[in-house]
Amino acid sequence: MIGQIIKKQFLLLWRSPVELLLLLALPVVLIVILGSALGNFMDGDSPGMHAKVAMIEHSSEREQFEKFKRDFETDLGLTEDTVANIEKRLPIQTLKTIFHTKEISKMMELEEISVEEKSKILQEDTYTAVIEVPEDFSYQYLSYILLDRKQAPQLQLYENEEKQLSAGAIQSIIKSFQQQLTLESLLEEKGMDQNEAALSTISVEGQQKNLEQSKPITAKEYYTVGMAVMNALFVASTIGLIAFREKQSFVFARIILANMSKWTYFTGVLCSAVIFSLIQLFVIYGFAWLIFDVSWDDLTAFILITIAFSISVGGITVLLTAISYRMHSETVTNLFSSVIVSILALVGGSFFPIGENVQVIELIGNFTPNGSGMSAYLAILRGESIGKIGNHILFLSVFGFAMIMIAAMTFPKRGRMV
Amino acid sequence: MLELVNISKKFKQTYAVKNMNMFMERGEIVGLLGPNGAGKSTAISIMSSLVEPTAGEVYFDNRSILKNPTSFRKVAGIVPQEIALYEDLTAEENLRFFGRIYQIKGKQLQKRIEDVLQIIGLADRKKEVVKTYSGGMKRRLNIGVALLHEPELLIMDEPTVGIDAQSRKYILETVKQLNKEMNVTILYTSHYMEEVEYLCNRIYIMDKGNLIAAGTKEEINRILSGEKSIVIKASHLTNPFIYELKTYPLVNSVDVMDKQITVMVSKEVNLFKDLIAMADEANIELISVNIKTPTLEDVFLHLTGRALRD
Ligand SMILES: Nc1ncnc2c1ncn2[C@@H]1O[C@H](COP(=O)(O)OP(=O)(O)O)[C@@H](O)[C@H]1O
Ligand SMILES: [Mg+2]
């Protein structure tokens, strides 16, 4: 019996090519447009991006410099000029200067954070990256350069795995930092040759949290996911509307009069939405795979998240259906497709990585079904393991079932079928 | 067969149906007549087990359909006032879908679909999508869907609103035929009294949620049997003229609509001469004066002071 409802639902969609086109072809067109128009901004430097970087210093660089001067100034026989030169090019200070240059500061904001706050900020999502400067870093660095110590000190870099898009930018800053740190003039004065100078560049050991094999996301990939999750939401309003019109036209009454349980019907609507959402996602991703080469290395993770996301779409569908049945009006469903989807898509990051700057929005974004689905898809594209997207699968399933429960409770009671 | 006992339905403050009593025997065609908003559709939703009444009971073969709707639904066919069809599907697809919902399968379903298409006269158009149909064809298919499971009882809510005369005639004949040849008991709802008068043995008349008359056609006509109606059309009407008519000793009642006045008088009264005189006196030009034996329309007018059709 449920099968009859589903079959009919598909026949109806098949017979309304405009709706079908909107659901299947529109997202593909949007991916093409957004993916190429915004490709440069996504893949290169981005005017829209604004990342926050935290820096934790375990001790003051100035004090370390003074200490180094006290310990070795006479041993090394450094001239006053040289000391002044070194002082101007202390490594951490140089790094900060880079972050404060005009170009970089447009994209990134460096914040100095006290040591006590370290564990707290590593837990949160506020920062795209955290640079930790170990105790004695500058002292060690000076020793390494000027005393030919074997071991170069290392900076610790924590990258936020959720914010892959800015990661490339930070890496390029670090690169430029390394180049500036050759301390050419300083070394020239000390009489070393340029080859050695190149060797003595600072080594920054980036510790990417759980991110060893991570790949950057391209604009096409980003918008494939963004448009797919956004357009799947329209499945909910489309099928919800079909269901409401069935009530309005008394078709639903007829179904009830044929002794079909309203729960059979309800389940039919739910299953239609889940199945159609699955088909839609597979069509969009299939298309993106063929045209844009957006491929999924971890197919299991991809399928799991697609199913979980479709369940949540099904949940929204039956909730819209139940509310419109209850209110005798399709207002809610229309509001959903005209306004709410756009808000969800924006907050969820379908148009641009909105959550990168504002932590609250990112948090809210991950509590929208499309935002959560999107985060999970992007994580898979970055090459993360299933374990990493487990919380998204859980959230989407719980969200879907919660919607279904609320819908079931809202659905008209017996004796109020028209 | 079907019995409504003291049915009331309240929406917020107002009663859509109030204290309605009604019964139907097997084999009858019963008419439910009333203007728009009278409460006919509400009454039908209740007697077809879709809506629970605020008070009262509905019995089908002496069993409450409110407590046990399943067995009632198996033998009842409901034709809703709305076109309850999928406009994007063909007639055949609609019938197949609803047939499957009624758990009819395979060869039997195919046969029922053919039979129904035959009854409603759409066999040659079965492959066309419903939205290309005329209003009358949609109405016919709307009836057809309710016939799929061969109901014993057919409840029809205004099956002829807004359609051409030809389709209307077809539907009326079909209803008669279903009753005669297949012994289907029918409740026929309408606000066209001539349809009800043509089809039904017994008639209920509803207005503003109340049953205002019930009985056989003859019984109802007898409400006004001692009277006749005079329908006067005039170029214009004046209040003094109407007042004069209303207070005239031999006149039983006066109803004014636009430029038309219906005056009820006893059968033996001859008002013609007096009327002409009164009109002359009031400087009113009479266009026509018709004397008729009362119709259901007049009964309704008499009972409510309003015409059936507005
Ligand atoms: N669901 C409802 N909620 C509120 N009022 C209703 C509802 N259904 C019908 N009514 C009111 O009840 C009255 C009777 O309506 P209805 O049964 O449709 O009359 P009819 O079918 O005779 O035209 C109307 O005044 C209508 O506005
Ligand atoms: Mg009605």
* Chain B residues touching A18 at Cβ < 8 A: none
Q: For an interface test with B, which of A4, A10, A254 has the most B Cβ atoms less than 10 Å from its Cβ?
A: A254
- Ligand 1 within 6 A of CB of B136: no
Residues A73 and A32 in one domain: no
Q: How many distinct structural domains can be found in chain A?
A: 2
Question: Would you state the pLDDT for residue A204?
Answer: 45
> B43 CA distance to ligand 2 centroid (A)?
9
B22 pLDDT more than 80: yes
In this structure, the answer to whether residues B138 and B234 fall within a common structural domain is no
Which CATH number does the domain housing residue B15 bear? 3.40.50.300
Minimal CA separation from A284 to chain B, in Å: 26
Pair A269, A375 in one domain: yes
Residues of A in contact with B84 (CB under 8 A): 249-251, 253-254
Task: Tell me which residue in B51, B86, B149 faces A418 most closely, judged by beta carbons.
Answer: B51
- Cα(B189) to ligand 2 centroid in Å equals 8
CA B40–ligand 1 middle distance (angstroms): 8
All residues of chain A having their beta carbon less than 8 Å from the beta carbon of residue B86 are: 8, 12, 251
Average pLDDT over residues B241-267: 83
Q: Identify whether A207 is part of a domain.
A: no
Please write the tens of the pLDDT for every residue from B139-193.
999 999 999 999 999 999 999 988 888 889 999 999 999 999 999 999 999 988 8
In a domain, B304, yes or no: no
CA distance B179 to B77: 13
Residues contacting B213, CB < 8 A, separation 6+: B203, B204, B205, B220, B223, B299, B303
**Atom of ligand 1 minimally distant from the CA of B17:** 14
The residues whose Cβ lies within 5 A of ligand 2, an ion, are B 40-41, 81
Q: By CA distance, what is A14's nearest residue in B?
A: B88
Is B235 contained in some domain? yes
Confidence of residue A273 (pLDDT cuts 50, 70, 90): very high
Question: Over 50: is that where the pLDDT of B194 sits?
Answer: yes
Q: Higher confidence at residue A417 or residue B302?
A: B302
* Contacting residues of A for B102, CB less than 8 Å apart: 258-259
B20 Ramachandran zone, left/alpha/beta (phi>0; psi -120 to 50): beta
- Residue whose entry in the numeric block shows the structure tokens 């709307």: B142
| pLDDT higher than 70, residue A50 | no
Nearest to A249 among B83, B97, B129 (CB): B83
Q: Compute the CA torsion angle B101, B105, B108, B109 (nearest 10 deg).
A: 40
Please enumerate in sequence order all residues whose Cβ is within 8 A of that of A276, keeping only pairs 6 or more positions apart, or say none.
A9, A10, A13, A23, A235, A239
Same domain, A68 and A166: yes
Mark whether A65 and A175 lie in a shared domain: yes
| Shared domain check, A75 and A29 | no
Average pLDDT over residues A317-331: 93
Distance CA B258, CA A36 (A): 70
How far is ligand 2, taken at its centre, from the CA of residue B15, in Å?
15
**How many inter-chain contacts (A to B, CB under 8 Å) are there?**
71
| Protein residue whose Cα sits closest to atom 3 of ligand 1 | B11
Q: What is the DSSP letter of B39?
A: S
pLDDT in tens, A108-159: 788 888 888 888 887 777 787 888 888 888 888 888 777 777 677 777 777 7
Residue A188 has pLDDT above 70, yes or no: no
Render pLDDT for A10-39 as a digit per residue (tens, 0 to 9): 999 888 888 888 888 888 888 888 777 766
ipTM of the complex: 0.80
pLDDT bracket for residue A284 (50, 70, 90): very high
Which of B42, B48, B81, when mutated, tests ligand 1's pocket best, judged by the most ligand atoms within 8 Å of its CB?
Answer: B42
Whether B17 is covered by a domain: the verdict is yes
Q: Is B215 in the pocket of ligand 1 (CB under 6 A)?
A: no
Distance from CA of A262 to the nearest CA of B (A): 12
Residues B239-246: what's their mean pLDDT?
Answer: 86
Asked whether residue A181 carries a pLDDT value surpassing 70, the answer given is no
Domain for residue B309, yes or no?
no
Position with higher pLDDT, A187 vs A341 = A341
Using a CB–CB cut-off of 8 Å, the residues of B that contact A are 45, 48-52, 66, 70, 73-74, 76, 78, 80-86, 88-89, 93, 97-98, 100-103, 129, 145, 149
Q: Tokens at residue A80, please?
A: 């006053």
Q: Looking at A182, A201, A220, which one is the last position of a domain?
A: A201
Contacts of residue A203, Cβ cutoff 8 Å, sequence gap at least 6: A152, A154
Residue A315 has pLDDT above 90, yes or no: yes
More confident residue, A225 or A183: A225
**Range in A102-106, A391-395, B206-210, B274-278 with the lowest mean pLDDT:** A102-106
CATH at residue B230: 3.30.70.100
Mean pLDDT computed over A247-276: 94
For residues A129 and A170, give the distance between their C-alpha atoms in angstroms, rounded to a whole number. 8
Q: How does residue A311 score in pLDDT terms, banded at 50, 70 and 90?
A: very high
Ligand 1 and B44: CB distance under 6 A: no
**Domain co-membership, A120 together with A195:** yes
Cβ-Cβ contacts under 8 Å, A1 against chain B: 101, 103
Is residue A403 domain-resident?
yes
Predicted pLDDT at A85: 79
Q: Is the CB of B36 under 6 A from ligand 1?
A: yes
Q: Which of residues 247-266 of A touch B (CB under 8 A)?
A: 248-251, 253-260
Question: What is the pLDDT, as a whole number, of residue A209?
Answer: 37
Q: Are residues B210 and B258 both part of a single domain?
A: no
Residue A253 to residue B80, Cβ atoms within 8 A: yes
User: Length of chain A, please?
Assistant: 418
State the pLDDT confidence band at A417, using cuts at 50, 70 and 90: low
Say how far apart CA A42 and CA A31 lie, in whole Å. Answer: 13
Rounded to whole angstroms, how far apart are CA atoms B41 and B191? 12
Across the interface, which of A4, A248, A254 has its CB nearest the CB of B145?
A254
Identify which has the larger pLDDT, A308 or A360: A308
Would you state the pLDDT for residue A199? 33
State the residue for tokens 């939401």.
Answer: A233
Distance B36 CA to ligand 2 centre (A): 6
Q: Is residue B80 part of a domain?
A: yes
What distance in Å separates the CA atoms of residue B276 and residue B285, rounded to the nearest whole number?
A: 9
In a domain, A163, yes or no: yes
Contact check, Cβ <8 Å, A416/B52:
yes
pLDDT beyond 70 at B38: yes
Report the CATH number at residue A191. 3.40.1710
Pair A95, A332: CB distance under 8 Å: no
Number of helical H runs and strand E runs in chain B:
11, 14
Q: For residues A159 and A187, state if they share a domain.
A: yes
* Ligand 1 lined by B38 (C-beta under 6 Å): yes
Residue B271 Cβ contacting ligand 1 at under 6 Å: no
Q: Are residues B25 and B163 in the same domain?
A: yes
A218 and A349 inside one domain? yes
Mean pLDDT of chain B: 88
Domain extent, residue B268, equals: 226-293
Q: Is A206 within a domain?
A: no
User: Residues near B214 by Cβ (< 8 Å), separated by ≥ 6?
Assistant: B22, B202, B203, B204, B205, B220
Looking at B220, B240, B261, the residue that finishes a domain is B220
Q: What is the pLDDT of residue A185?
A: 37
Predicted confidence band of residue B213 (pLDDT cuts 50, 70, 90): confident
Residues of B in contact with A249 (CB under 8 A): 82-85
Cβ contact B50–A251 (<8 Å): no
Domain final position from A201, A221, A239:
A201
Is the CB of B294 inside a 6 Å radius of any atom of ligand 1? no
Is B69's C-beta closer than 6 angstroms to any atom of ligand 1?
A: no
Taking an 8 Å cut-off on Cβ atoms, the answer to whether B101 and A255 are in contact is yes
Let me know whether B274 and B139 are in one domain.
Answer: no
Predicted confidence (pLDDT) per residue in B62-102, tens digit: 899 988 899 999 999 999 999 999 999 999 999 999 999 99
Residue A270's pLDDT is: 96
Q: Are residues A220 and A184 in the same domain?
A: no
Q: Is residue A265 located within the same domain as residue A336?
A: yes
Pick the most confident of A57-61, A152-156, A306-310. Answer: A306-310
CA distance B57 to B46: 9
Whether pLDDT at A187 is above 60: no
Q: What is the mean pLDDT of residues B16-31?
A: 93
Which of residues A149, A167, A201 is at a domain's end?
A201
With a pLDDT cut of 90, the percent of chain A lying above it is 29
Clarify whether residues B119 and B232 are in a common domain. no
The per-residue pLDDT for A418 is 66
Taking alpha carbons only, the member of A221, A347, A219, A370 closest to residue A284 is A221
Q: How far is A108 from chain B (nearest CA, A)?
A: 55
Is residue A296 in some structural domain?
A: yes
Please count the structural domains in chain B.
2
In a shared domain, residues A323 and A389: yes
Report the nearest atom of ligand 1 relative to the CA of B9. 12
Tens digit of pLDDT for each residue in B106-153? 999 999 999 999 999 999 999 999 999 999 999 999 999 999 999 999
Beta-bridge partners for A140: none
B11 in contact with ligand 1, CB cutoff 6 A = yes
How much of chain B, in percent, has pLDDT values that exceed 90?
55
By residue range, what is the domain housing residue A284? Answer: 2-42+212-417
A418 touches chain B (CB under 8 A): yes
Percent of chain A, pLDDT > 70? 80
Closest ligand to the CA of B210: 1
Do A37 and A91 lie in one domain? The reply is: no
Phi-psi region of B258 (alpha: psi -120 to 50; beta: other; left: phi over 0): left
